[in-house]
Each structure stands twice: as C-alpha cells, then as structure tokens.
Amino acid sequence: MRIIVTAALWSLAVLMALAAGGPAGAAEVLQVGSKRFTESYILGEILTQSAAAHGGAVHRQGLGNTAIVLAALRAGSIDVYPEYLGTIDLEILKNSRPGSLAAMRAALAPMGLGVAVPLGFNNTYALAMRADSDGVAKLSDLPRRPALRYGLSHEFIGRADGWPGLAARYGLAAQPRGLDHGIAYEALAQRQVDVIDIYSTDAKIGKYRLKVLDDDKAYFPRYDAVLLYRLDAPERFPRQWAAIAALEGRISAAQMIAMNGAVELEGKSFAEVAHAFLASDGKAGARALPAARLGTGLAAAVANKLFDASLWRLTRQHVLLVLVSVALACLAGIPLGVLAAFAPRLRQAVLGLAGVLQTIPSLALLAMLIPALGRIGTVPALVALVVYALLPVVRNTCTGILGVPPGLRLAALALGLTPRQRLLHVDLPLALPVILAGVKTAAVMSVGTATIAAFIGAGGYGERITIGLALNDNAMLLAGAIPAAVLALATQALFELVERFAARRAIVLT
C-alpha cells in the first residue's frame, strides 16, 4: 500500500511540473498545428520546416477535427494551422452563406484570431463514385437513385457546410454511414459503399479512377487554403512569421495533389515531402532528412516503421502517460473506494459517478478539456486517462474492504485499535489483492486508452495509429498497435507477480 501511495504522490509531482512547464516551453518556439488528414499534415510540416530555420518551430500534428484544432488555437496551445476559407466562414463562424475575407477577419478579431497567407490552391469538397457507376454524373442525379449507399467522413456528416446543407439543397433522404476519410476510398473500391466525400486535391482520385460528381447547384463554396493564426503570433515570432508568410501563393493545386500522392501512393513521410517541396522551391534553410530504409512486403514495412527513430520517444511518452494516470487514479480512487465501503449511503453515488465518468466519449472529453485547461498535450490527456481509470480502482477497493472477514475486524476492535489503525493495518492489507486487481485492470485499460493522447499532441503510440488511419496505411497502424499490445501484456504480467506476492502476504495475515 505504501508503494501505491508513494508512486501516486510522485506522479502528482510530475503532473504539477508538466503543468508548470507547459506554457513556458510553448512560448519559446512557434507552435504549428494540423488536422488529421494527409494534406493538413503536409502543410503543417511545410510551415514548420519553413519557420524552423528562422528561430524554431514545433509541429503538433494530427490534432483531430476542426473543433479540437480550433480549441487548441484559441487556448494558445498552438499559434497557427492551415485551414480553408469555406471552413472558416461556414463551420467556424457559422455564417449561412460565404462572405468576404474582410468580413471574416472582422468576425475573427474578437476571438484573438486572424486569417492570412493564401497558399495558392482551392481544395473544395466533392462527392465521388466509382467510374462504372452509370446514370449519375452530377449531384442532382442522386435523388433518383435512393438505393445508393453513402460512406461519408464523420466531420462532413456533422459540418454546417457538409451533409445537412447538401442533403437539403439536393433533396437527399439517404442515411450516410460514418467512415474515416483515410479508409473511404478502399470501402468504395470494395463496393461496400457507393458514394464518398472527397477533397478535390486528393491524390487517390486518379488512383481509384473515381468519377467526381458535378456540383450543378453550386452548393460548395471555395475552400482556398490559408493560415488561421493567433493575432499575437507575428509579433511574438517575427522571423518565423516572415518565413511562412513567404509561402503566399506558392503552392498550386497540381503541386498539392503531387505532394498528397507522394505520401499516400509512394509511401514517403510528411517531413520528406515537405522538405522536397521547399528544396525544389529554392527555399533556404530546409532541414536535411535521413534516407528511409528500404524493404519489401508488409512485414518489412512494419519492421521499418516499428523500429524507426521515433520508437524510444513514443515509448517514453506512452509509459509516462500510463504510469502517471494510473498512479493519480489510485491517489483519488482508493480513498473514494474506502468511503464507499464504510458509508453505505454514499456507496451507490460514488460508484455511479465513477461509472458515468467512464462513459464519456474520449474525443468529446478531450475537446472539452482543451478550452477548460487552456492547453493541449500531456496535461489534458492525463486528466482524461485518470477519469477512465477511476472505476476499476474505486470498485475493487470497495469490494476488497467489504470482503474482509468480520471476525478479524472484531479482533482488531478487541485489541483496542482505532478506526484509522484498523484501516491501515487490517482492512487495506487484507483487501490489497483485490485492490491490485483493480489497479491492474486500470493499467491495462490505460495502455490502450492512452492512444487517444495523440489526438491532442501528447504523443505515444497513438501518433502512429492516427497517421496510419489518415493514410489507410496498415504498416503504420501495426507499428503503433503492436508495441501498445506488447506494453499491455508486460503490464499485466508485472501486476500478476505483484498480486501473487500480495496474496501470500494476505494469507499470512489471516
């Protein structure tokens, strides 16, 4: 028991240090964000590499959908990220129809945000079908084919400028299925769906020979790529901002399609593609990158990505998230479990609260924590993990204490032990095997749940999983899933040993 409490206190100190050190570290370099799809990753890397040679920049990549990245920007956790005018106008500002750039800037200014640096290309939404789909060439043809199956990205389904307005404009009554954008093309090719949403600069349009449906009622506005930024960023980072401002108008639609294809079709990394673009564009100061290891087949690809230079960094981040979150869950959960055991009137309330907290969807919780805590990264990820780890710790602590034989409690009372002494020297030691089983469950669950930390820039193995999902890259997915599974098995084995020791000690005490 002392070990658990000591570890929890140490973890609390680590968490406080992380919280105290976050803003200071964030102010030293330009923080560049990106969403979780190929083009945003690439643009984020181009911005980062452009600024890095002029004072430093960090890429907080793959932060999720618009809501999460915008929350991070408004909270000051990032300073700039690539966005699109249509998204800003209709999704962020909630305008019913496209407005002027001046109107957007006026509406964003009270939020402390600005829009600038048009990059030079328009990446609009569109719907696409297989080339062999007869009888449909434009969006107004879709209502006549009610049997068509729609597989649309989750963000598109919920966006103000996405499915709801499109369905109303064209009279579509279908119920779309939510699909991750990275796997929608494969689902279409395998005839699991018939219609998907695409970006006009997607490289896979040509690979899968898709038919892009004509927006004959002009529903989709222009989605010119721009930078959405904090208004204080140019003043705080003048040299870095001058470097990325020089990108204005320098990325054409053809270049963007080619860069997307280099990642999705040729297997190059985001950093490699960004470096090649900056180098070919004559941009000084682009960072040299190591050559990728060559291999053939899925096994070789997994091995190359599994054991690359990021493995130790991701492992360190993942283990830190699990250790600290489980220790903090013990620090909060064990006292709550004791309270539930000795206060029958509060038992259902305590266990019910812990159960309700675990049912909160992870991405929704993260989206709420970013503005609440004013940051992205480790701290909100730890808060979320602690919330999900509480229930097994609280429940098993309560169950273990309730399972202590009444005769031993009477013996402790006869010996004149105070309630505190009985708790520390009888109840908790005898309940320790059951408590450890709950901690083990929380730890193993946390290893898997910690992968969500990548959605808010906290790293860990989830970083590879989110990239793999964005690219529909099975090798990258396995490179993130395999070490997470190994860590979960190692965690369970370690707790099995500790549980055996605790069980033997409990037998001796009885």
Residues 408 and 281 in one domain: no
Instruction: For residues 348 and 350, give the distance between their C-alpha atoms in angstroms, rounded to a whole number.
Output: 6
Which among 220, 224, 192, 198 is positioned nearest to 211, based on CA atoms? 198
Long-range contacts of 16-20 (CB under 8 A, 24+ apart): 18/378, 18/379, 18/382, 19/379
What digits encode the pLDDT tens for the residues 450-500?
998 888 888 899 888 888 877 777 888 899 999 999 999 999 999 888 877
Mean pLDDT, residues 400-415: 81
Residues 93 and 189 in one domain: no
Q: Does residue 268 fall inside a structural domain?
A: yes
Residues 322 and 460 in one domain: yes
What digits encode the pLDDT tens for the residues 410-434?
787 777 787 788 888 888 888 888 9
Contact 394, 337 (CB under 8 A): yes
Instruction: For residues 29 and 37, give the distance between their C-alpha atoms in angstroms, rounded to a whole number.
Output: 24
> pLDDT band for position 6 (50/70/90)?
very low
Contact 241, 157 (CB under 8 A): no
Lowest average pLDDT, out of 259-273, 387-401, 491-505, goes to 491-505
Q: Considering the chain, what percentage of its residues have pLDDT values greater than 70? A: 90
pLDDT at 286 over 80: no
Residues 400 and 463 in one domain: yes
Kindly report the average pLDDT of the chain as a whole number: 85
Residues 176 and 259 in one domain: no
Q: Does residue 49 fall inside a structural domain?
A: yes
pLDDT at 221 over 50: yes
pLDDT at 318 over 90: yes
The domain that contains 60 carries what CATH number? 3.40.190.10
Mean pLDDT, residues 119-141: 92
Which one-letter DSSP state was computed for residue 288? Answer: P
In what order do the strands lie in the sheet containing 57-60? 57-60, 30-33, 80-84, 225-230, 113-116
Residues 235 and 280 in one domain: yes
State the first-to-last Cα distance of the chain, in angstroms, to the nearest integer. 17
Q: Does residue 9 fall inside a structural domain?
A: no
Residues 445 and 503 in one domain: yes
Q: Does residue 476 fall inside a structural domain?
A: yes
Which one-letter DSSP state was computed for residue 214? Answer: B
Mean pLDDT, residues 285-310: 64
Residues 427 and 482 in one domain: yes
pLDDT at position 285 is: 43
Which among 460, 344, 440, 448 is positioned nearest to 398, based on CA atoms? 344
The domain that contains 153 carries what CATH number? 3.40.190.120
Overall number of domains in the chain: 3
pLDDT at position 287 is: 46
Q: Does residue 14 fall inside a structural domain?
A: no
Write the single-letter amino acid at 409: R
Q: Does residue 41 fall inside a structural domain?
A: yes
Residues 173 and 319 in one domain: no
The domain that contains 477 carries what CATH number? 1.10.3720.10
Residues 155 and 98 in one domain: no
Strands (E), 233-325: none
Q: Does residue 302 fall inside a structural domain?
A: no
For the record, the structure tokens of 254 come out as 């053809």
pLDDT at position 369 is: 85
Averaging pLDDT over each range in 2-6, 157-161, 306-310, 343-347, which range is the top one? 343-347
Among 187, 212, 237, the domain boundary falls at 212
pLDDT at 292 over 60: no
pLDDT at 327 over 70: yes
Residues 388 and 456 in one domain: yes
Residues 247 and 279 in one domain: yes
Residue-range definition of the domain harbouring residue 54: 27-121+223-289
> pLDDT band for position 507 (50/70/90)?
low
| Residues forming beta bridges with residue 214, ordered by sequence position | 138
Instruction: For residues 386 and 33, give the distance between their C-alpha atoms in angstroms, rounded to a whole number.
Output: 25
- Those residues whose C-beta lies under 8 Å from the C-beta of residue 328, and which sit 6 or more positions away, are 8, 11, 12, 15, 382, 386
pLDDT at position 482 is: 93
> pLDDT band for position 405 (50/70/90)?
confident
What digits encode the pLDDT tens for the residues 14-57?
444 444 444 434 447 999 999 988 999 999 999 999 999 888 89
Q: What is the 3-state secondary structure (H, E, C) of 80-146?
A: EEEEEHHHHHHHHCCCCCCCCHHHHHHHHHHHCEEEECCCCCECCEEEEEECCCCCCCEHHHHHHCC
Q: Does residue 5 fall inside a structural domain?
A: no
Instruction: For residues 120 and 227, give the distance between their C-alpha atoms in angstroms, rounded to a whole number.
Output: 11
pLDDT at 407 over 90: no
Mean pLDDT, residues 376-402: 92
Counting every residue, how long is the chain?
510
pLDDT at 242 over 80: yes
